[in-house]
Amino acid sequence: MTDREKREKIQRAVHKDREGWLRAQRREIAALGALYLRYGRAVKLDIIDAANSDGLLVGVSAPALERAVSRKIALLAADRNDLFDWAVRASATNGAARIAPVARIAGAEMPAATIAHAESRMASWLERHVAEDGLNLSARLWRIDLGAQDKIISALRDGIRQGEAIDKTFKELLRGGAPDAATTRKIERAFGQSRAVNVGENIQKLFTRRGEKNIVFNVERVLITETNRVNGHAFIESSRDAGAIGMRWCLSPSHPRADICDDYATADKYGLGPGGYPMDAIPAFPAHPLCLCYLVPIFPWEVRK
Ligand SMILES: [Zn+2]
């Protein structure tokens, strides 16, 4: 095998492994969506349970309902954190282990203990890692959770207010005799919108990707970015351990449109070929939240003159 063939074989092996990991990541995203949906349904049921016999949120203890809903949100956050822990560890393991087939092709020694070491280093590295916005992973999730709590509780309060308003209107109308047809229609519409089942449905939507300003979308983005980050960096670490002197930034074949990644993949600032960077000069990976790029180690034998 010539050096060139070896290099191409390594690149194919890395790309294949990376594509496999992206499929695993899609399963994690689906699990995250299912988790939010499950809690969204539970919150909806709490709201429906609190309704009066007209199906309205009238005479409910708002603080008690808010406490019940807040408790569900806290349980969701705990389950979500478990899912993140698992996904981060799995992504670090996968990234570190990606070096094994590469090392075989390159003929480099790569003891399993080295990979295990890279993997355990990476999960704690991610927790310490602070992005440009000054937040680490826990702080970012905590901020999203706070926003979610606010959004859900304020939607719940609006629902209770509407239910009470329509109930009052009803009672006033009944005292004044039968209303005309137009008024009846208006009231019926307002009644429909104020029903607990409707309030619950709208709040449940906040837990899904369909909902406007939905919460799960933000969490999903964090999961995608952070698992990508730890996966890429674990591979950089194990590549370094295997004797790589740098990494090559490669575009995914499904790279949707030109962005900063095209610059990273074509620049040749260090004489390592297009997209080649010494270990201490690799651009921050991933370059953007949904970056599909992958990194391939550069070994000394590739650059010897
Ligand atoms: Zn990219």
Residues with CB under 5 A from ligand 1 (ion): 261, 287, 291, 293
Q: Can you tell me which residue has the tokens 């919460």?
A: 215
Backbone φ and ψ of 300, nearest 5°: -55, -40
Q: Using the mean position of ligand 1's atoms as its centre, give its distance from the Cα of residue 200 in Å.
A: 39
Q: Using the mean position of ligand 1's atoms as its centre, give its distance from the Cα of residue 257 in Å.
A: 10
Query: Any bridge partners for residue 250, and if so which?
Result: 294
- The model's pTM: 0.87
Over the stretch 212-235, which tens digit does the pLDDT of each residue have? 557 888 899 999 999 999 999 999
Would you state the pLDDT for residue 258?
81
- 156 touches 164 (CB < 8 A): no
Would you state the pLDDT for residue 211?
54
Query: Any bridge partners for residue 246, and if so which?
Result: 278, 298
- Which candidate, 157, 256, 141, 145, places its Cα nearest to that of 202? 157
Would you state the pLDDT for residue 76?
96
Q: Using the mean position of ligand 1's atoms as its centre, give its distance from the Cα of residue 29 in Å.
A: 19
* Spatial separation of the C-alpha atoms in residues 285 and 131, rounded to whole Å: 11
Over the stretch 54-101, which tens digit does the pLDDT of each residue have? 888 988 888 999 999 999 999 999 999 999 999 999 999 999 999 999
Tell me what the mean pLDDT of segment 283-299 comes to.
92
Q: Can you tell me which residue has the tokens 């670490």?
A: 237
Q: Using the mean position of ligand 1's atoms as its centre, give its distance from the Cα of residue 260 in Å.
A: 7
Tell me what the mean pLDDT of segment 27-53 comes to.
94
Determine which of 74-78, 99-103, 207-211, 280-284 has the lowest per-residue pLDDT on average: 207-211
| Helix then strand then coil, % of the chain, to nearest 5 | 70, 5, 25
Q: Using the mean position of ligand 1's atoms as its centre, give its distance from the Cα of residue 159 in Å.
A: 43
- 268 touches 213 (CB < 8 A): no
Pairing between β-strand 294-298 and β-strand 246-250 as defined by DSSP bridges = antiparallel
Q: Using the mean position of ligand 1's atoms as its centre, give its distance from the Cα of residue 232 in Å.
A: 12
For the cut 70, the answer to whether the pLDDT of residue 210 exceeds it is no
Would you state the pLDDT for residue 90?
92
Over the stretch 232-281, which tens digit does the pLDDT of each residue have? 999 999 999 889 999 999 998 877 778 899 999 999 999 999 999 999 99
Determine which helix (DSSP H) or strand (DSSP E) holds 276, and give its type and residue range. Answer: strand 276-278
Q: Using the mean position of ligand 1's atoms as its centre, give its distance from the Cα of residue 234 in Å.
A: 17
Over the stretch 21-30, which tens digit does the pLDDT of each residue have? 999 999 999 9
